[in-house]
Chains A and B, each alone.
Chain A
Amino acid sequence: MATTAAAGPQSTTGTSVMTNVEAVRSTLHDALVRDDRVLIMGEDVGARGNVFLITKGFLDEFGPQRVVDTPLAEASIIGVAIGMAMEGLRPIAEIQFADFIYPAFNQIVGEAAKTRYRSNGDYTCPLVIRTPYGGGVRGALSHSVSIEALFYHVPGLTILAPSTPADIKGLLNAAIECPDPVLFLEHKKTYRSVKGEVPAGYYTIPIGKADVKKTGTQVTVVSYGYNLHQALDAANRLEGEGVSVEVIDLRSIRPMDKTTILESVRKTRKLLIVHEDNKFGGIGAEISAMVAEEALFDLDAPIRRLCGPDVPAMGYALTLEDEFMISTDAMVEAMRSLAAF
């Protein structure tokens, strides 16, 4: 399933079509060329070129100092990167799968997020942590989780989850530029299945800004990741039925774009939040609370959340994975019924 991404910022000298994974790769490559302080570190990023081939060839081009194969130890991958960042480099640390990030939780939440705060600005931590997340690839219990809800709660962290190639490039560049730690989430199911136009040249997208990927009048849908593309499919299907759905791509989980969400909700008066992550305590809860606080008297229906089930992970068997993942049909039904409410 390929969708055409909405045009990103103004094209400079043309655009090229690429997949999400190619957008990650080319952005990383350009960053290594552009800025001496940038280096990539993680498991298998050097000789193997990353398990998704994102850094293939980088070791030869940039050398082992700038593309570092680390020992198999997530806490130190992040911890050492933190030390480098505190000392003035711009490390991009990779956690091979988001499911492996837990040993590094201490370093991310207890150390990186607090570096600027606890030193009152004496030290900063311009660190990017990249990791593929999400399911639908037969990855089973430990290669499919979503982790944004665990981290978006933490002041001091920035969490990004762009869904299209143009957004990936703009936000990854912004993350590398950002003087504070950024967790950059890449939905692995979209790596090769999502293609779009990407403007040439260097650009960034403002961190925190969401994007209306499709305008509509009757229902607002907020989503990100693989679900975003399903939501667009569902919305396009419903256009044919005369139901007009507006789809917002969050792009940034923390900080989150209040303006775009409220503007849309005030227009359509109905809000559906779709995320693959477990429902209880997922980011949909925070969006719901904010909208209830700020736009209660604009709501013509209860806020609805269509989310992953509250079980630890999706199973290996296809029946189990399909039960966990939200289908496009389910989204169509949710949007349709909300519009008719």
Chain B
Amino acid sequence: MPTTITMPQLGETVTEGTVAQWLKKPGDSVEKYEAFVEVSTDKVNAEVPAPVSGVIRELIVKEGETVPTGAPIAIIDEVGAAAQTPAPHGSASPSEQVANLAAEANHQASDEPVPGGNVGLSSTTFTAPSLANGNGSAVVANGFVAASAAPGGLRVSPAVRRLAREHRIDLARVHGSGEGGRITANDILAAAKAGPSAGVAATISADNAVYTAPAPPSAPAAPAPSPAGGGRATYAQARPGDLIPLTQARKIIAQRMVESKHTAPHAWTMVEVDVTNVWKWRTCEKDAFERENGVKLTLLPFFVRAAVEALAQFPLMNASFTEEGIRVHAEVNIGLAIAADGNLIVPVIRNADRLSIKGLAIAAGALIDKARRGKLGADDLAAGTFTVNNTGANGSVLSAPILVPGQTGIVTTEAIVKRPVVRDDDAIVVRSMMNVCLSLDHRVVDGAVASGFLSDLKRRLEAMGPSGSL
């Protein structure tokens, strides 16, 4: 059977070789280890012994020709029952193997943005910097503790940063007892004992405003219970065996969730939306949009635009059940469900139906920014009439959301997944598909209205494309 002989590497730094002289011609027989060609490199001249016994079939390279190391130079038809000497593990040199592994690792890192928008703040919570990804750059953590707002622009130590976040202390309100007024770790621990910062307290009372209207707010926010002993069980870093004390916000959320479920009979429905075109549109516009407006362009504003248009056609979805009757709201105030530090917050875009896609993007961006900085006010959280939740940011494809008490509908945008889809002409095509789920208050509307609303929303969203205007 024919064996191809390649140019050997004669010397550690040699990369090519020249056939100085063939010692055999086609048809000649050759023994294993017999010299059959003379090769010269810039380091050394040598006779190369044949690796197998047989007959020379072909001389590929001419005398005087230079080829790279590893290039084929001759073919020998092996003769005899000599066992094929197996190639050593991996025909690549060790450094090649290492280079191949590194190349594989780099291919796995992806630059594509996560489809489905970036409404959820969970992707930007404070994480420890990871020091080794494929190309060696460090991922910078996006802490949203107001460290930079510390008085005098003082830097804070890593321990202070971490402790402040764990105990939800606003650094702006801590007096530094360290050198030069520096905030020390002990300062944070002392502040934690004293009670939560004003920023957090504002959030909690704002929660109260949303969830307890029309009932008057309950007792003022109680200080978060100090962690037991040195254990410091926190919601953010829950470990098996922990007993995590309930914060005020958590108590309120729990209360409202139970109220919602026990009051409104929840029904649920879903549609699949082909967002290929609208995603394309978004992708086209996003860089310029960000540059001009300083705000990210996600899928959210497109979706909300479709939603408010659909709500205009199905006003019963923008209503509240009361004993006196179904109150159909005059304003369309879209709440955006956001997870912040283990709590659910729903800031509201007022009169969202009056805003273009661009306007919605800017309004949503402003609210999310405020939420990140802990600066949402009561106004930001009040008077929502319909709610949107981007559950897809975490990869969900189906959700059964719980209604905000007093609202008739809450809709989710699930993860955008590329799926094979059968067209009307029976062709199978790959489209970006996003499920949209709707929980509805069955006292106010039935399936027909709800599905009608969803279908209308779907139709509008699918009709959006690069030819539209923001």
Interchain CA distance A269-B156 in the complex, whole Å: 13
User: Are B182 and A269 in contact (CB-based, < 8 A)?
Assistant: no
B428 at the interface (CB under 8 A from A): no
Grouping DSSP codes into helix (H, G, I), strand (E, B) and loop, the B interface class, with mixed when no group exceeds half, is helix
Chain A 258-301 near chain B by CB (<8 Å), digits 1 or 0 = 00000000000100000000000000000000000000111111
B158 at the interface (CB under 8 A from A): yes
Which residues of chain A come closer than 8 Å to B184, judged between CB atoms?
300, 341
Q: Which of B128, B161, B184 has the most CB of A within 10 A?
A: B184
| Smallest Cβ-Cβ distance to A301: which chain B residue | B157
Interchain CA distance A296-B184 in the complex, whole Å: 15
Contact of B159 among A300, A337, A340 (CB under 8 A): A300
| Chain A interface residue number, banded | 10 to 19
Q: What number of B residues sit within 8 Å (CB to CB) of A?
A: 12
B179 at the interface (CB under 8 A from A): yes
User: Are B182 and A341 in contact (CB-based, < 8 A)?
Assistant: yes
Interchain CA distance A299-B179 in the complex, whole Å: 15
Contact of A299 among B128, B157, B182 (CB under 8 A): B157
CB distance from B396 to the nearest CB of A (A): 31
Chain B 170-191 near chain A by CB (<8 Å), digits 1 or 0 = 0000000011001011000000
A300 touching B185 in the complex, CB below 8 Å, given contacts A340-B178, A341-B178, A341-B179: yes
B160 at the interface (CB under 8 A from A): yes
B162 at the interface (CB under 8 A from A): yes
User: Are A298 and B178 in contact (CB-based, < 8 A)?
Assistant: no
User: Are B179 and A269 in contact (CB-based, < 8 A)?
Assistant: no
| Smallest Cβ-Cβ distance to B156: which chain A residue | A300
Which residues of chain B come closer than 8 Å to A340, judged between CB atoms?
178-179
| Smallest Cβ-Cβ distance to B161: which chain A residue | A297
Which residues of chain B come closer than 8 Å to A298, judged between CB atoms?
158-159, 162
Interchain CA distance A327-B26 in the complex, whole Å: 85
Within 8 A of B (CB), among A222-243: none
| Smallest Cβ-Cβ distance to B177: which chain A residue | A340
Contact of A297 among B159, B178, B179, B182 (CB under 8 A): B159
| Smallest Cβ-Cβ distance to A338: which chain B residue | B179
Which residues of chain B come closer than 8 Å to A341, judged between CB atoms?
178-179, 182, 184
User: Are B185 and A297 in contact (CB-based, < 8 A)?
Assistant: no
| Smallest Cβ-Cβ distance to B131: which chain A residue | A293
CB distance from B166 to the nearest CB of A (A): 10
User: Are B179 and A300 in contact (CB-based, < 8 A)?
Assistant: no
| Smallest Cβ-Cβ distance to A298: which chain B residue | B159
User: Are B162 and A269 in contact (CB-based, < 8 A)?
Assistant: no
Chain A 205-234 near chain B by CB (<8 Å), digits 1 or 0 = 000000000000000000000000000000
Which residues of chain B come closer than 8 Å to A301, judged between CB atoms?
157
User: Are A296 and B158 in contact (CB-based, < 8 A)?
Assistant: yes
Chain B 145-176 near chain A by CB (<8 Å), digits 1 or 0 = 00000000000011111100000000000000
Chain A 316-341 near chain B by CB (<8 Å), digits 1 or 0 = 00000000000000000000010011
Q: Which of A296, A298, A300, A337 has the most CB of B within 10 A?
A: A300
Which residues of chain A come closer than 8 Å to B161, judged between CB atoms?
297
Interchain CA distance A127-B160 in the complex, whole Å: 48
Interchain CA distance A341-B158 in the complex, whole Å: 14
| Smallest Cβ-Cβ distance to B165: which chain A residue | A297
Which residues of chain A come closer than 8 Å to B158, judged between CB atoms?
296-299
Which residues of chain B come closer than 8 Å to A337, judged between CB atoms?
179
User: Are A269 and B178 in contact (CB-based, < 8 A)?
Assistant: no
Which residues of chain A come closer than 8 Å to B162, judged between CB atoms?
297-298
CB distance from A232 to the nearest CB of B (A): 25
Which residues of chain A come closer than 8 Å to B159, judged between CB atoms?
269, 297-300
Which residues of chain A come closer than 8 Å to B185, judged between CB atoms?
269, 300
Interchain CA distance A296-B162 in the complex, whole Å: 10
| Smallest Cβ-Cβ distance to A341: which chain B residue | B179
Which residues of chain B come closer than 8 Å to A299, judged between CB atoms?
157-159
Interchain CA distance A269-B188 in the complex, whole Å: 13
CB distance from A268 to the nearest CB of B (A): 10
18 residue pairs A–B, Cβ–Cβ below 8 Å: A269-B159, A296-B158, A297-B128, A297-B158, A297-B162, A298-B158, A298-B159, A299-B157, A299-B159, A300-B157, A300-B159, A300-B160, A300-B185, A301-B157, A337-B179, A340-B178, A341-B179, A341-B182
List the 3 closest pairs (A to B, CB-CB), nearest first: A300-B185, A300-B159, A297-B162
Not counting A269-B159, A301-B157, A337-B179, a sample of 9 additional A-B residue pairs whose C-beta atoms are within 8 angstroms of each other reads A296-B158, A297-B159, A299-B157, A299-B159, A300-B160, A300-B184, A340-B178, A341-B179, A341-B182
